[in-house]
Amino acid sequence: MIIGLPKEVKTKENRVALKPTDVATLVAEGHNVKVQENAGKGAGYPNEEYEKAGATMVNSAKDAYDTEMVVKVKEPIKQEYDLLKENTILYTYLHLAADESTKELTQVLLDKNITGIAYETVTNENKELPLLEPMSLIAGQLAIDYGARFLQTFQGGRGKLIGVVPGADPTNVVILGGGNVGYGSLVKAAGSKAETYVLDINPKKVAELSDEFKDHKNVHIIQSDDEKIKEYVSKADLLVGAILLPGGKAPKIVTEDMVKTMKDGAVIVDVAIDQGGCTELSKPTTHEEPIYKEHGKIFCCITNMPGSVARSSTQALTAVTVPYAINLAKKGLEAALKEDPGFAEGVNTYKGFITYEAVAKDLGMMDKYKKLEDLL
């Protein structure tokens, strides 16, 4: 198979979807991997390492896209739409249900009969999301770092430290959701000795986290409902949005009125922004322009937060995504999908149809929906 590795072009996205050692494995199995020059530079992988691995180095993104399968980190943005080749495989994070911009991308994928395999909807035998988990854990931890930064006085924040400050009022960190993002935030905030509150709607998750953190007096795990969300949002110095509905839009559980009840200078880091965000006021931001203010509160909604730690993120991501890519290249698309139902869950578009129901519903495109098994 001919596989393309283009350089990521989303703002400040320095991750890369294949390390040189991954390329070497694919080449050893008889595949041709076309790597765009400097694709791995931001993650610390120079062109020379890809050359030694046996890659075919190409000058342009067009050459990297002129392949049977394109492997990326983030969804193509508008400037890449024309590069997408008909009837190819696109293996990357897609997050198609996020907003109108992803609806446009979805239509492009359908028009070009592209098989869009989304990392974020691949499941394992336990119905977990193994290709989303490592980036979620990283993003959750980074949410606390970004929150700490923007809480600083000179950033316009409340002037509060996430850490041990004898004699000072505690800094309240409120985390909405106890999944992988929430867990990453919880571990980071709890270790900093902040008063940390995690709200989750799942009683099983509440019980699990309560047991794991029972010896941490600064950690409070709370069974979530509408009233509890209102109560704890108003108390938050730092609010972390960690809500996930696999493949679908995040529910807007924090209203504008709730935001208004927060203290001026409080920070909201909405990690759910990849799926549209979990507050009514959330909108995507970038590493170059990470924040904006609404009602005196600071919003940080960076859509590719793990890109700020590109080396760690690349290694964590490829550890879980590349084995699927190797299997797909070896066995072919249909065989790989038929033998692994969890991998097949990753297919969001196929043969001109949306094949992931939550995406079709959230985009209002159920007329374009078909079950994957009916198309294979």
Place of tokens 């969890």: 342
Catalytic residue among 22, 200, 270, 274: 274
pLDDT reported for residue 245: 87
For residue 152, is it within any domain?
A: yes
- Please give the full DSSP string across 212-260, using - where no structure is assigned: HTTT-TTEEEEE--HHHHHHHHHH-SEEEE----TTSPPP--B-HHHHH
Question: Cα(108)–Cα(352) distance, rounded to whole angstroms?
Answer: 9
Number of residues written out for the chain? 376
Q: E-assigned strands of 72-171?
A: 89-92, 115-118
Both 6 and 101 in one domain: the answer is yes
Contact present, 241 and 136 (Cβ < 8 Å): no
Based on the domain organization, do 289 and 319 belong to the same domain?
no
Question: With pLDDT > 90 as the criterion, what percentage of the chain qualifies?
Answer: 95
Same domain, 262 and 365: no
Counting other chains too, the contacts that 83-87 makes at CB distance below 8 Å and 24 or more residues apart are: 83/6, 84/108, 84/109, 84/112, 84/114, 85/112, 86/112, 86/113, 86/114, 87/112, 87/113, 87/114
Q: What is the mean pLDDT of residues 171-189?
A: 97
pLDDT digits (tens, 9 = 90+) for 106-160: 999 999 999 999 999 999 999 999 999 999 999 999 999 999 999 999 999 999 9
The count of other CB atoms within 10 Å of the CB of residue 368 is: 17
| Cβ 256 vs Cβ 179: under 8 Å | no
Please check whether residues 247 and 171 belong to one and the same domain.
yes
Per the structure, the complete domain to which residue 227 belongs is given by 136-303
Judgement on whether residues 155 and 241 belong to the same structural domain of the protein = yes
CATH number at residue 180: 3.40.50.720
CB atoms under 10 Å from CB of 129, counted, come to: 22
pLDDT of residue 330: 97
Q: Judge whether 220 counts as a catalytic residue.
A: no
* pLDDT per residue as tens digits for the range 51-74: 999 999 999 999 999 999 999 999
Give yes or no: residues 293 and 165 share one domain: yes
pLDDT digits (tens, 9 = 90+) for 273-296: 999 999 999 999 999 999 999 999
Active site residue 31: no
pTM for the full predicted model? 0.94
211 and 95 share a domain?
Answer: no
* pLDDT surpassing 90 at residue 18: yes
Does residue 101 have a pLDDT over 80? Answer: no
**What separation in angstroms does the CA of 355 have from each of 69, 110, 120, 130, 300?**
19, 11, 14, 20, 32
Calpha distance 154→94 (Å, rounded): 36
Catalytic entry in 22, 63, 95, 340: 95
> Where is the domain boundary, 252, 282, 303?
303
Say if residues 241 and 277 touch (Cβ distance below 8 Å).
yes
Closest-CA residue to 232 (of 194, 261, 203)? 261
